[in-house]
């Protein structure tokens, strides 16, 4: 069984030497996202202390997406900076190939279910509005723009696409590749500060600064070969607790995002150090495998969870509530989402988006 799973879940990284701890970080990120939707969907059946815990976990689970943004910032910026002959066509093709095959399959499932269960559908009734709304979702506009996504989690893809488009323009228009290390570092720090201030006072997608945390991570780790020997696990726990306690105390969202920006940068610098404790547990094979199929899991797990709770609702009395349900139901539901995501990964994402030609 292990050998069979290994053939399905280990990924070829092509010409890039793999950072196994990065695969583990993706696994942590997607596991946090699971807790967001699990906590939200199970809330009607909770009572007592489990409600407080669910809200706490739901709050800190949201930063799983921010960790994804940091890792994307690192990888995409790194691929551009390291490219000797950058091709816009090849870059665009690769980004489209990475995002769209799996997205389109899940999107088609959502559309079919929208027509099969119209009371759960987000589609407008008017034909023209419906076509426009579907087109907006196909173009991955919900998120950066105030549009409700058909696939709930797809809002983050608009952030990714915006970054994919913006970063090569910035790098080549300013000729950043020719800059010194110190100049690039100060430029990205000042850019982070400007965006943070601008989004705070004028509104906007403040989480975009997480991509710049990934850019700084690349500069510090890849160009300066600097890592941290310890503290990675503590940085992660502090980040989780900080966002969790926002359900108890009034903590500035801007200050929280700035803290996550710094904490995730430090976490990754420690995770990339092969001598650190964080590297050791982040390279745990099942966690890495979860990270390798994280995109498939991210897109389909919400639908799988909704299905489970519809079944659960049909077999429980309308008045049923429990203080212990939250603590034991997550295990079977997480395993179910793993199985569904595995099939999507094996039959769609891996053959269409990830396999490298021999």
The structural domains of the chain, with segments of one domain joined by +, span 2-354
Q: Is the pLDDT of residue 4 over 90?
A: no
Backbone angles phi, psi at 62, to 5 degrees: -65, -25
Query: Integer distance in angstroms from the first to the last C-alpha of the chain?
Result: 26
- Please tell me what DSSP assigns to residue 84: S
Number of helices (H), then strands (E), in the chain? 15, 0
Closest by CA to 281, choosing from 270, 294, 296, 292, is 270
Among 115-124, 312-321, 334-343, the range of highest mean pLDDT: 334-343
262-278 pLDDT, tens digit each: 999 999 999 999 999 99
161 contacts 99 by C-beta, under 8 angstroms: yes
pLDDT recorded at residue 13: 64
Question: In the structure, what pLDDT confidence band is assigned to residue 357 with cuts at 50, 70 and 90?
Answer: very low
Q: Provide the CA 238 distance to its chain's centre, in angstroms.
A: 19
193-241 pLDDT, tens digit each: 999 999 999 888 999 999 999 999 999 998 777 899 999 999 999 999 9
| d(C-alpha 35, C-alpha 64), whole Å | 10
| d(C-alpha 294, C-alpha 20), whole Å | 14
| d(C-alpha 199, C-alpha 196), whole Å | 5
- Please tell me what DSSP assigns to residue 16: S
279: Cβ contacts below 8 Å, ≥ 6 apart:
21, 232, 270, 271, 272, 273
**19-23, 40-44, 261-265, 339-343: the lowest-pLDDT one:** 19-23
Question: In the structure, what pLDDT confidence band is assigned to residue 1 with cuts at 50, 70 and 90?
Answer: confident
Any idea of the CA torsion for 329, 330, 331, 336, to the nearest 10 degrees? Answer: 100
Residue 335 tokens read as 């395993």
pLDDT recorded at residue 16: 55
Closest by CA to 188, choosing from 166, 169, 214, is 214
Q: What is the pTM of this model?
A: 0.95
Per the DSSP assignment, residues forming a β-bridge with 145 are: 142
Q: Is the pLDDT of residue 107 over 90?
A: yes
102 contacts 353 by C-beta, under 8 angstroms: yes
| d(C-alpha 325, C-alpha 323), whole Å | 6
pLDDT recorded at residue 2: 79
273 contacts 253 by C-beta, under 8 angstroms: no
Cβ-based neighbour number of residue 177 at 10 Å? 13
33-77 pLDDT, tens digit each: 999 999 999 999 999 999 999 999 999 999 999 999 999 999 999
């Amino acid at each position: 069984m292990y050998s069979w799973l290994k053939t399905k879940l280990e990924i070829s990284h092509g010409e890039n030497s793999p950072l196994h701890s990065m695969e583990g970080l993706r696994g942590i990120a997607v596991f946090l996202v699971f807790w967001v939707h699990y906590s939200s969907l199970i809330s009607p059946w909770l009572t007592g202390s489990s409600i407080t815990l669910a809200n706490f976990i739901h709050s800190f689970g949201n930063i799983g997406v921010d960790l994804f943004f940091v890792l994307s910032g690192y990888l995409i910026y790194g691929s551009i900076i390291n490219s000797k002959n950058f091709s816009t066509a090849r870059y665009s093709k690769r980004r489209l190939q990475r995002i769209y095959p799996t997205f389109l399959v899940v999107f088609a499932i959502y559309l079919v279910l929208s027509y099969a269960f119209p009371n759960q559908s987000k589609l407008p009734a008017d034909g023209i509005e419906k076509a426009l709304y579907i087109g907006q979702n196909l173009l991955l506009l919900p998120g950066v723009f105030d549009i409700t996504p058909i696939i709930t989690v797809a809002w983050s893809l608009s952030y990714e696409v915006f970054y994919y488009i913006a970063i090569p323009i910035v790098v080549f228009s300013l000729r950043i590749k020719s800059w010194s290390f110190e100049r690039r570092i100060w430029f990205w720090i000042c850019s982070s500060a400007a965006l943070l201030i601008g989004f705070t006072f004028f509104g906007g997608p403040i989480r975009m600064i997480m991509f710049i945390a990934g850019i700084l991570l690349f500069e510090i780790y890849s160009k300066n070969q600097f890592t941290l020997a310890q503290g990675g696990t503590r940085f992660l726990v502090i980040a989780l607790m900080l966002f969790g306690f926002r359900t108890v105390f009034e903590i500035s969202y801007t200050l929280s995002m700035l803290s996550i920006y710094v904490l995730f940068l430090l976490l990754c610098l420690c995770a990339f150090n092969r001598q650190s404790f964080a590297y050791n547990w982040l390279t745990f094979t099942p966690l890495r495998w979860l990270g390798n199929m994280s995109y498939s899991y991210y897109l389909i797990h919400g639908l799988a969870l909704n299905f489970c709770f519809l079944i659960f609702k049909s077999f429980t009395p309308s008045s049923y509530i429990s203080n212990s349900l939250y603590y034991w139901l997550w295990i079977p539901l997480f395993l179910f989402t793993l199985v569904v995501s595995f099939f999507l990964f094996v039959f769609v994402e891996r053959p269409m988006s990830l396999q490298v030609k021999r």
